[in-house]
Amino acid sequence: MRIMDKEGPIYHFPSIGDTPPPIRIPFIGMNTCTPQYRNVRKMAKITVIGCVLSGRGKVRVNEQTYTVQQGDVFLMRSGCYHEVVSEATPEEPWEYIWYNVHSHWALNVLEVYKLLSTVVVPNASMEPVFRQGIEWARSKTIEEMQLLLQQLFMQFIIQLSEIQRNRGELLSLLVRQIKLHLDNQLLQPFHTEQLVQELGMSAKHLNRVFKKEMGTTIYNYVLTKRLESAKLMLLETNLTISEISDQLGYSDAHYFSNLFKQKTGLRPSDFRSRFSDQEHH
């Protein structure tokens, strides 16, 4: 659903040749939004990467909602609910550059660079590199853009990953310990009691500290990680739903399927059939 209260250039780069590139970016553009602008994709087939140039807005991926402003970069991965809402004022419209990535391989790249669960990288200071694609679009051929946009995408991801890595080193020792425990136990049934016993602090205190620094609760962090792992296994392996459920620490495949549908809007089997064929459309 779109209320198109925006203006700005849009550039299209159709695929050339018989074999599409692994990372395909057929659309890029720049939006200048009024206060009424809202864009919703209930189950996005694309990954969107955006850089805010001015003003404020909100971005939502599934149940995660963030306010974004000048200098922030947002990542809206495919297979999720997307919502973008303007918080522009008459004095300061909301402006951002966006790149639409049509490839489930983008999820693999985000996973490798530890960005799969990231929605917003605040104050990333990446406006010049985002503007580069817009400048190229005005002068380069479609064939040139196909290669340049793949390179630019990797530049985005490497730079964002480096920012996150450097900032991660600034997390408190306690939050780093919590993250390490959660990441190491991702494929095991999650029990708060194990974390409490290992760190010697109450669950309430651990969750409060974790949410303050990470912006999400311990439970939602684990759940988001597991769902993203499930999506990758659905797209990249031939494992059955029951096998994927088991690998993610869920002993009941029916419970896992219901949870997956509750959070994504699709049953695992429907997600697999819908997105595995994405590259052929």
Sketch out the chain's domains with CATH numbers. Answer: 2-168 (2.60.120.10), 173-280 (1.10.10.60)
On average, the pLDDT of the chain sits at: 89
Percent with pLDDT over 70 in the chain: 96
H-helix segments, 138-252: 142-168, 173-184, 192-199, 203-214, 218-236, 241-247
Per-residue CA distances from 35 to 10, 67, 80, 135, 208 (Å): 20, 14, 24, 27, 34
pLDDT at 215: 80
Task: Report how far residue 68's alpha carbon sits from residue 91's, in angstroms, rounded to the nearest whole number.
Answer: 17
Quote the DSSP letter at residue 16.
Answer: -
Confidence of residue 124 (pLDDT cuts 50, 70, 90): very high
Quote the DSSP letter at residue 160.
Answer: H
pLDDT tens digits for range 150-185: 999 999 999 999 998 888 767 888 998 999 899 888
pLDDT tens digits for range 37-96: 999 998 898 999 999 999 999 999 988 899 999 999 999 999 889 999 999 998 888 999
Task: Out of 44-48, 108-112, 273-277, pick the least confident.
Answer: 273-277
Q: What is the spatial order of strands in the sheet that 56-61 belongs to? A: 2-3, 38-41, 82-86, 56-61, 64-69
Query: pTM of the prediction?
Result: 0.76
**pLDDT surpassing 70 at residue 1:** no
The tokens for 149 are 């946009």
Residue 45's SS3 state is: coil
Task: Report how far residue 49's alpha carbon sits from residue 94's, in angstroms, rounded to the nearest whole number.
Answer: 16
pLDDT at 236: 83
Residues sharing a CB contact under 8 Å with residue 151, sequence separation 6 or more, in sequence order:
none
pLDDT tens digits for range 194-221: 899 989 999 999 999 998 888 889 998 8
Q: Read off the pLDDT of each residue in 113-127 and give the average, rounded to a whole number.
A: 92
Confidence of residue 279 (pLDDT cuts 50, 70, 90): very low
Residues sharing a CB contact under 8 Å with residue 77, sequence separation 6 or more, in sequence order:
47, 61, 106, 107, 110, 116, 228
pLDDT at 155: 96
Residues sharing a CB contact under 8 Å with residue 239, sequence separation 6 or more, in sequence order:
233, 247
Confidence of residue 4 (pLDDT cuts 50, 70, 90): low
On whether the CB atoms of residues 263 and 227 are closer than 8 A, the answer is yes
Per-residue CA distances from 191 to 152, 181, 199, 213, 249 (Å): 41, 11, 13, 21, 11
**pLDDT surpassing 70 at residue 278:** no
- Letter for the amino acid at 93? P
On whether the CB atoms of residues 10 and 61 are closer than 8 A, the answer is no
Half-sphere exposure of 258 (CA within 13 A, CB side): 5
